[in-house]
């Protein structure tokens, strides 16, 4: 109290020093008081900063009164109504106590108890007081000084024990705080001070999870204080985990599981029990009785999830034998069933949490044996042979190299000799009912192998896995061997022949192997060198081993080894003599390219090697299809090498002569090969084709480029045969289409496939019902759609043949067909409808096939765009690039009107991006037109003509951009004197010589753009825009000067106000252009300003009083042009008569007031300021209240509003007299214009009724007279009278 009084005295003295509160004291205390405001801020960073600043301030000032005030404010703030403020004040109190150790903790504890006494506080503030006590204890605990004052520890624990009764507000926070305190104090303090206080809680440990947690923490911290003898006195047994206590522990675990149902975490008491069981050597008892047997008796829910989380958390704590026992028990079986059932939507999935547990364990554990046990155990957990973990399980990246090698060996062994008895296999109820022994065994083996193959492949795909080159090659050889070969006789040279298949591979497994082999092949193509094999200063290489050899080359050599051992190895699809010759030729070509690479390595030779070997590896999959491609590829490479050798020996003149006589056909053939390879659904082939084409871009001819563009041409889509082969296998097509997606999509596909496999039994359950529903829908579709006339005629014939068709003669007949006739009719109708159903199904199949072809064709065209993009990027300066302009524009034009499917939009987006960003805006372009000037001018004329005929402005923008690109090409390279400054769109503008136009026919080109400008100004709906011509003016000032007069004319000659406003914008942009000003002489600039002034004056004279939105926009643009014109004339001191323009501007005020604020008004007065006219100031006058009060009664006569009538209706003094007549009419009950007029007349005649007229004048004077109540009462009488008479 003394400290509190001292603080109050300081505050009083500060206030009473001066009556006006001096600023110095305020400024001095404001910094100190702001700390407490920041402690209650919602932002955590602000609160932490406030705590730090407060402690620094108190240490620097070292004032006792401020320190006492600080403790008072902090203790008061512990029960703050704002939840975010309580932790702030608690943290601050703890840190202040830690900083000022001379302050007694007991005094602070007493102040907390006194301030937040639950017995004295009001009921509505009881909850805040509870939190005040709790956060106060937390502050004392955070101070770190509880160890030094044992009595304070006892007081805190007793206070927390009293708070633990209020669980509806504080939940388990008091118990957790007691646990934290126990973990901090020494054993002597616990034994001497706390044990007696906590004895009741420790004795009732099996009642609640919090009390059991308290006991477990005490056992961990103070084993000497809680010896078995004391435990026996407390609990009746010397150990916690025994057969007698198991039921009690189970009940506590169930309570703990339900308490964290929303938090989705493992209760700490469960993990502590597990640790205690390991310490007491009772782990098997605890795990088998409490977890396996008891917890899973409950339905699936929190108890199951607690067991699964405990399993994951126990992995780092168990020994090798315990891991094997736990991971092969019933808990794992239940976890597998949960994973299967949780695949359905809207189900809780615990698998991500288990993945986290396993990942953390593998990261922390360096024991390869334990890692292997965990990986093998989770892989062995299978549902009908299919493991529940995904085949792309990313935890494998944390395995040690030894564990990874052992895991791969185990996978290979299970693939060759599946041992289903070693699997922890389970089946759902439907699977158990449907599947029989033999069929189930075969299906189980197939499903297991189906999972193992992508599991092996994903180890190569994941670059985060720490694997050696030998391991990668071992996996690739294993998958390749069993995909395309089989063993005749074991040999030591081929390790894969030593592994015998206990059950032969079926066709389905072979298909999985084929699809899984080429994925790792692509991953190896992008695989970086391992850290230990890469040199320090060496550039990072991809797709090669440590010795610089390509991964695919190692596989090709392995394939050659297998082909050369026919006695030991048999090919599943043997090569013919011609195919073997092509294979040998490929090896020879690769070897020749490798030799040239060693002499002087080029990217071109490496790309050709990659293409050769990739096609060679694909020959094992489809030899007949790739045989011709391989032959053509070899011829192309041979011709290319001969061409290069001849070029080195011949002069430039001879080379030019040969180019005119004969084109290098090998490039055209190679482009055809690349196009045919792109039609295959393989991402690796797509990337290799892109690399190869990039290397041959300098040799590409016009014919080769035309072959690429023909594929993309929408007009030739139906004329030529598609290069895409459409198969009837829908699943295969869908899978192939997904091969081009990113690696992340593979995991999603794997999860989807796993879900389908695991839930196949449930899908089979309803298959019959679904088929029946589909048949019904088909029948309804046949009935609801158009009736086939041929089918109608056939149906009529059948009915007529059986005399079943009703006629007029038989209308009154009651005779029916006999049974035999009915049977014949049923058979005939059945045959007819069956045939019709087949026809309908055939039409649907044809439609589906066409749709598949369309999808595959669009995918193929998107891939071909890769080649176009590469060519534009590598050969932007080639004259051949001009041949891409029209085809790309045609694609964009047709794509804008095509469907809205995702593929169509992606194709259109890529084509537009290549045209706009890579072609038109490229800094590198063809600067030597040669003899193609006339052709380019014709192309420009064609583009501009087409642009004006379009209806879509977005397509027109691409045509106009192409026109500017053609003009840029015609202009050619700028003179050496000039400097190039890249503009926003990548164009280069000549700085020193804006008149340079190169080979551009300025008159012809100006005529073309002038016609386009006239079309834009004279058409109501033109695809051209003002921005297009603005770009033209900025990039080519010479053309701007030639078009400037046309733009000036259309300031008044535009077809509409919008076009006239756009003309003003164009003229303004042209006059602001520095290059245009440089091109115009002084006389030309004067004449231009004269013309613009006259046009503006004429346009302003046409403005009428009626203003629309378009007219206002036009006026704004006119004002902007006027402002620049007047400013320019005055600054340049040109002899231009601006008087007509000034008069036109002054006369504009007669139709437009210009009194408000806005863009138009501000611009107008900015223009008039140049003429010496300023905006008049508006004088604001206050309204006269007395005048309004006197005039108010004259404005309106009659009754008060209806709301006021209803308020005073029930007063006794306002009841009407019985003999008074009612008014002629009542407003609100009449309808129509005539009724309103009649109502007004009735109001005017109302004073003739005597009593009804008398209250009107007092009611109007009631605002100024004191007796307003009497006036109001008198005024209500006629209304009540009227209402009473109507009633």
**379 phi, psi to nearest 5 deg:** -70, -30
Q: Find all residues with CB under 8 Å of 612, minimum gap 6, and list them.
A: 586, 589, 590, 593, 633, 637
| Residue 1285 CB-density burial (10 A; 0-12 exposed, 13-18 middle, 19+ buried) | middle
Element housing 164 (H / E): none
In angstroms, the CA 147 to CA 58 distance is 25
Number of Cβ within a 10 Å radius of residue 652 = 8
- CB 197 within 8 Å of CB 166: no
What pLDDT does residue 807 have? 54
What pLDDT does residue 643 have? 64
- CB 400 within 8 Å of CB 371: yes
Segments in 1133-1232 forming alpha helices (H): 1139-1147, 1159-1170, 1185-1195, 1202-1207
Closest CA to 947 of 955, 936, 937, 935: 955
Bridging pattern class, strands 980-982 and 569-571: unpaired
Chunked into runs of 10 residues, the chain (1287 residues) has average pLDDT values of 38 37 48 87 90 90 86 89 87 90 88 85 84 88 84 84 75 80 81 79 84 85 81 84 90 90 88 91 92 89 92 94 92 91 84 94 93 95 91 91 94 91 81 58 82 91 87 91 89 87 86 84 78 46 80 91 90 89 89 78 74 87 84 79 60 49 65 84 81 83 88 69 42 41 45 48 44 44 54 74 58 59 77 82 86 84 88 87 90 80 84 89 78 88 91 91 91 62 44 76 93 92 92 92 92 90 93 90 91 90 78 89 91 87 85 74 86 76 54 52 56 42 42 45 44 39 41 42 37
DSSP reduced 3-state for 657: helix
In angstroms, the CA 442 to CA 436 distance is 10
What pLDDT does residue 1016 have? 92
Closest CA to 579 of 632, 518, 628, 517: 628
DSSP reduced 3-state for 988: strand
In angstroms, the CA 608 to CA 723 distance is 22
Handedness of CA 695, 698, 703, 706 (dihedral sign): positive
Closest CA to 888 of 899, 896, 877, 878: 896
In angstroms, the CA 599 to CA 250 distance is 76
In angstroms, the CA 970 to CA 929 distance is 7
1198: left (phi over 0), alpha (psi -120 to 50) or beta: left
Number of Cβ within a 10 Å radius of residue 1261 = 12
Q: Which residues pair with 989 in a beta bridge?
A: 981
In angstroms, the CA 839 to CA 845 distance is 10
Question: Which DSSP category does 976 fall into?
Answer: T
Closest CA to 372 of 334, 400, 338: 400
What pLDDT does residue 899 have? 67
Number of Cβ within a 10 Å radius of residue 1215 = 15
DSSP reduced 3-state for 485: strand
- CB 193 within 8 Å of CB 150: yes
Cα Dmax for the chain: 134
Closest CA to 1141 of 1163, 1174, 1103, 1171: 1171
- CB 97 within 8 Å of CB 103: yes
In angstroms, the CA 501 to CA 494 distance is 16
- CB 78 within 8 Å of CB 34: no
């Amino acid at each position: 109290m003394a400290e509190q009084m001292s603080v109050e005295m300081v505050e009083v003295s500060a206030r009473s020093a001066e009556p006006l509160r001096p600023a110095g004291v305020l400024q001095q205390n404001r910094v100190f008081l702001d700390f407490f405001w920041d402690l209650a801020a919602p932002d955590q960073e602000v609160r932490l900063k406030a705590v730090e600043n407060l402690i620094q301030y108190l240490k620097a000032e070292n004032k006792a009164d401020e320190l006492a005030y600080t403790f008072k404010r902090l203790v008061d703030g512990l029960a703050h109504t704002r939840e975010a403020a309580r932790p702030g004040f608690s943290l601050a109190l703890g840190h202040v106590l830690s900083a000022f150790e001379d302050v007694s903790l007991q005094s602070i504890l007493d102040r907390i108890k006194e301030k937040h006494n639950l017995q004295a506080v009001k009921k509505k503030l009881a909850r805040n007081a509870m939190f005040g006590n709790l956060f106060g204890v937390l502050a004392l605990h955070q101070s770190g000084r509880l160890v030094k004052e044992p009595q304070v520890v006892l007081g805190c624990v007793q206070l927390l024990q009293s708070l633990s009764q209020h669980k509806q507000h504080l939940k388990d926070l008091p118990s957790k705080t007691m646990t934290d305190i126990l973990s901090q104090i020494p054993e002597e303090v616990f034994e001497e001070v706390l044990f007696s206080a906590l004895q009741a809680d420790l004795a009732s440990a099996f009642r609640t999870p919090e009390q059991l947690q308290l006991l477990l923490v005490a056992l961990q911290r103070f084993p000497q204080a809680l010896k078995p003898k004391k435990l026996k006195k407390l609990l009746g047994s010397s150990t916690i985990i025994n057969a007698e206590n198991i039921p009690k522990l189970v009940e506590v675990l169930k309570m703990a599981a339900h308490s964290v149902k929303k938090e989705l975490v493992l209760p700490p008491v469960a993990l502590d029990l597990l640790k205690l069981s390991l310490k007491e050597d009772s782990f098997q008892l605890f795990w088998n009785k409490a977890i396996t047997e008891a917890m899973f008796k409950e339905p699936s829910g929190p108890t199951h999830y607690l067991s699964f989380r405990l399993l994951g958390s126990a992995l780092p704590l168990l020994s090798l034998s315990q891991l094997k026992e736990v991971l092969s028990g019933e808990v794992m079986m239940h976890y597998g069933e949960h994973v299967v059932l949780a695949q359905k939507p809207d189900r809780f999935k615990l698998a991500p949490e288990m993945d986290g547990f396993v990942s953390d364990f593998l990261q922390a554990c360096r024991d390869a044996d334990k890692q292997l046990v965990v990986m093998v155990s989770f892989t062995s957990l299978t549902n009908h042979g299919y493991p529940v973990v995904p085949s792309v399980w990313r935890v494998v990246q944390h395995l040690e190299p030894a564990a990874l090698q052992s895991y791969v060996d185990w996978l290979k062994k299970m693939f060759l000799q599946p041992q289903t008895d070693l699997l922890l296999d389970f089946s759902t109820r439907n699977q158990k009912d449907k599947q029989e022994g033999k069929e189930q065994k075969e299906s189980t083996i197939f499903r297991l192998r189906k999972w193992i193959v992508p599991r092996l492949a994903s180890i190569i795909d994941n670059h985060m896995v720490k694997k050696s080159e030998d391991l990668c090659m071992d996996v690739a050889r294993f998958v390749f061997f069993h995909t395309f070969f089989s063993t005749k006789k074991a040999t030591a040279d081929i390790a894969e022949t030593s592994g015998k298949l206990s059950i032969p591979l079926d066709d389905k497994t072979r298909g999985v192997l084929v699809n899984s082999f080429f994925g790792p092949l692509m991953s190896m193509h992008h695989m970086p060198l391992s850290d230990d094999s890469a040199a320090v200063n060496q550039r990072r290489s991809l797709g090669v081993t440590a010795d610089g050899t390509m991964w695919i080359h190692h596989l090709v050599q392995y394939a050659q080894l297998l082909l050369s051992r026919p006695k030991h190895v048999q090919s599943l699809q043997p090569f013919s003599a011609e195919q073997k010759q092509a294979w040998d030729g490929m090896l020879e070509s690769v070897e020749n390219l490798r030799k040239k690479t060693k002499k002087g390595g080029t990217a071109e030779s490496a790309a050709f090697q990659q293409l050769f070997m990739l096609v060679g590896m694909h020959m094992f999959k489809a030899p007949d299809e790739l045989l011709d491609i391989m032959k053509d590829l070899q011829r192309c490479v041979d011709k290319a090498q001969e061409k290069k050798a001849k070029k080195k020996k011949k002069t430039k003149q001879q080379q030019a002569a040969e180019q005119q006589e004969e084109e290098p056909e090998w490039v055209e053939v190679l482009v055809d090969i690349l196009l045919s390879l792109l039609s295959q659904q393989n991402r690796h082939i797509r990337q290799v084709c892109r690399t190869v084409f990039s290397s041959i871009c300098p040799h590409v001819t016009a014919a080769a480029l035309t072959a690429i563009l023909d594929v993309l041409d929408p007009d030739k889509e139906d004329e030529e045969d598609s290069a895409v082969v459409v198969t009837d296998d829908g699943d295969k097509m869908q899978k192939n289409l997904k091969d081009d997606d990113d690696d992340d999509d593979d995991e999603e596909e794997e999860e989807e496939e796993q879900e389908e496999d695991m839930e196949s039994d449930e899908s089979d359950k309803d298959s019959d019902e679904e088929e029946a529903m589909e048949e019904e829908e088909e029948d309804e579709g046949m009935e609801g759609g158009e009736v086939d006339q041929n089918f109608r005629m056939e149906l009529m014939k059948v009915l007529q043949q059986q005399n079943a068709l009703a006629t007029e003669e038989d209308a009154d007949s009651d005779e029916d067909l006999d049974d035999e006739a009915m049977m014949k009719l049923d058979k005939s109708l059945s045959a007819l409808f069956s045939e019709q159903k087949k026809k309908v199904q055939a039409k649907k199949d044809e439609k589906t096939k066409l749709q598949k072809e369309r999808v595959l064709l669009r995918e193929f065209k998107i891939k071909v765009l890769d080649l176009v993009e590469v060519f534009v990027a590598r050969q932007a300066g080639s004259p051949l690039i001009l041949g891409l302009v029209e085809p790309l524009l045609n694609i964009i034009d047709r794509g804008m009107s095509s469907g809205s499917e995702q593929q169509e939009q992606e194709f259109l987006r890529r084509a537009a991006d290549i045209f706009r960003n890579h072609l038109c805006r490229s800094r590198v372009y063809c600067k030597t037109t040669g003899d193609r000037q006339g052709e380019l001018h014709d192309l420009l004329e064609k583009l501009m003509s087409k642009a004006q005929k379009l209806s879509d402005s977005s397509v027109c923008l691409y045509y106009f951009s192409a026109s500017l690109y053609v003009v840029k090409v015609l202009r050619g390279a700028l003179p050496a004197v000039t400097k190039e400054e890249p503009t926003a769109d990548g164009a280069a503008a000549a700085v020193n010589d804006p008149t340079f136009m190169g080979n551009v026919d300025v008159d012809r080109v100006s005529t073309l753009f002038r016609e386009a400008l006239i079309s834009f100004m004279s058409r109501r709906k033109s695809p051209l825009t003002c921005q297009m011509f603005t770009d033209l003016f900025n990039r080519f000032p010479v053309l701007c000067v030639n078009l400037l007069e046309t733009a000036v004319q259309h300031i008044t000659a535009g077809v509409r106000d919008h076009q006239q406003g756009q003309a003003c914008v164009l003229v303004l942009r042209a006059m602001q252009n520095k290059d245009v000003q440089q091109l115009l002489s002084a006389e030309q600039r004067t004449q231009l300003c004269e013309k613009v002034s006259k046009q503006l004056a004429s346009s302003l004279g046409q403005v009428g009083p009626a203003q629309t939105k378009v007219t206002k926009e036009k006026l704004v643009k006119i004002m902007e042009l006027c402002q620049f014109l007047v400013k320019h004339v005055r600054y340049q001191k040109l002899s231009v008569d601006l008087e007509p323009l000034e008069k036109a501007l002054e006369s504009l005020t007669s139709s437009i007031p210009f009194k408000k604020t806005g863009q138009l008004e501000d611009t107008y007065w900015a223009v008039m300021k140049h003429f010496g006219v300023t905006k008049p100031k508006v004088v604001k006058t206050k309204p006269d209240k007395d005048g309004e009060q006197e005039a108010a009664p004259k404005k309106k006569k009659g009754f008060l509003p209806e709301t006021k009538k209803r308020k005073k209706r029930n007063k006794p003094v306002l009841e009407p007299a019985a003999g008074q007549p009612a008014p002629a009419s009542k407003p609100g009950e009449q309808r129509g214009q005539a009724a309103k007029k009649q109502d007004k007349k009735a109001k005017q005649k109302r004073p003739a009724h005597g009593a009804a007229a008398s209250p009107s004048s007092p009611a109007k004077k009631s605002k100024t007279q004191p007796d307003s109540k009497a006036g109001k009462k008198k005024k209500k009488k006629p209304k009540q009278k009227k209402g009473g008479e109507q009633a």
